[in-house]
Structure 1
Amino acid sequence: MVELDPIDAAIVRELRDDARLANNVLAARVGIAPSTCHGRVRALFERGVIRGAHAEIDQASIGRPLQAMISVRLRPHARGELSAFAHAMSTLPEVLNVYFLAGADDFLIHVATAGSEELREFVLHHLSGTKGVAMTETSLIFEHLRGNQVAAQASAQRPAQA
């Protein structure tokens, strides 16, 4: 675990909320000089605290409005294939995220598809039709909010206090 001082922690919080912040804006928000901020952000990357900045894509706007989480359990004889299975899943265009789990299921696979028929085909072709897969369970996603979006939404819905 990496220890973060209050400035680094503030930088991480700000970038988590908006990874596109310009360095001078980020510096002003955390109360340091832009050159200091740039050096600290670079150091956070070098220490592995920040691993990258990613665009959050509205899947519906690119023709994939149906999202699901698919729990996958591999057969006991396929346990040696965990890494290969995860890699193969991560290369499929429908797959947004692959989570390797502890517990009853081995993986949780987050997918986005054009509709229920495409989702069905994905499960049949890439999961149920794979000899190492023992079980799948598909849960549709109705809404997805990031942690900081939940807090912002909750505060926006609170009535104003007099």
Structure 2
Amino acid sequence: MVELDPIDAAIVRELQRDARLANNVLAARVGIAPSTCHGRVRSLFERGVIRGAHAEIDQASIGRPLQAMISVRLRPHARGELSAFAQAMTTLPEVLNVYFLAGADDFLIHVATAGSEELREFVLNHLSGTRDVAMTETSLIFEHLRGRAAEPDSVRRRSPR
């Protein structure tokens, strides 16, 4: 776990709320100079605390109104291919997210398609129709509500040097 001081934690909190904040606005909100803020944000990226900033797209508005979560279990002979399977999934245009799981299922794949026929074709062509996949279970998503951003747990006071 990466240690965050109170200022870094405040930066993370603000960027979780709105990743599009201009640096000068972010600096004012956390009470530091813009140049200091820029350096701290760059450091948070370099340390892997911030991995990216993404636009949340309304899938229906771009022609993909049907979303689903597909549980996938690979066959025992394919256990050595978990990483390759996950990487292959991320290259498919229907795939929004790939989650590697503990438990009975190996993956949860979040997809968006134009309709039920496209969803069926995706499952057949890329999952159940392949030799490495033992089982799939598809759950349609009726509504997605985003939760509140998590507060950083690793806020620690740094000892004076």
Query: Quick one: distance in 1 between partners of 2:80 and 2:2?
Result: 32
Query: Quick one: distance in 2 between partners of 1:117 and 1:10?
Result: 46
The residue correspondences of 1:1-162 to structure 2 (distance < 5 A) are 1-148=1-148
- What is the TM-score of this pair, normalised by structure 2? 0.89
Q: What does the per-residue CA deviation read over 1:81-121, in whole Å, with 9 as the maximum and x for residues that have no partner? A: 11111111110000001111111000000000001111011
Query: Quick one: distance in 1 between partners of 2:108 and 2:54?
Result: 21
Q: What does the per-residue CA deviation read over 1:38-91, in whole Å, with 9 as the maximum and x for residues that have no partner? A: 111111111111111111111111000111000000011111111111111110
SS in 2 for 1:147: coil
CA RMSD between the two structures: 1.1
- Aligned-residue offset at 1:148: 2.1
Query: Quick one: distance in 2 between partners of 1:21 and 1:14?
Result: 8
Q: Mean alpha-carbon deviation: is it higher for 63-72 or for 47-56? A: 47-56
Query: Quick one: distance in 1 between partners of 2:142 and 2:36?
Result: 42
How many residue pairs match? The answer is 149
Higher relative contact order (CA 8 A, sep 6+): 2
**What residue ranges of structure 2 are gaps of 5+ in the alignment?**
150-161
SS in 2 for 1:3: coil
Query: Quick one: distance in 2 between partners of 1:103 and 1:51?
Result: 26
Query: Quick one: distance in 2 between partners of 1:50 and 1:122?
Result: 32
SS in 2 for 1:39: helix
Letter in 2 for 1:13: R
Letter in 2 for 1:70: I
**What residue ranges of structure 1 are gaps of 5+ in the alignment?**
150-162
- What is the TM-score of this pair, normalised by structure 1? 0.89
Query: Quick one: distance in 2 between partners of 1:31 and 1:75?
Result: 54
Query: Quick one: distance in 2 between partners of 1:43 and 1:20?
Result: 18
Percent of paired sites with the same residue: 93
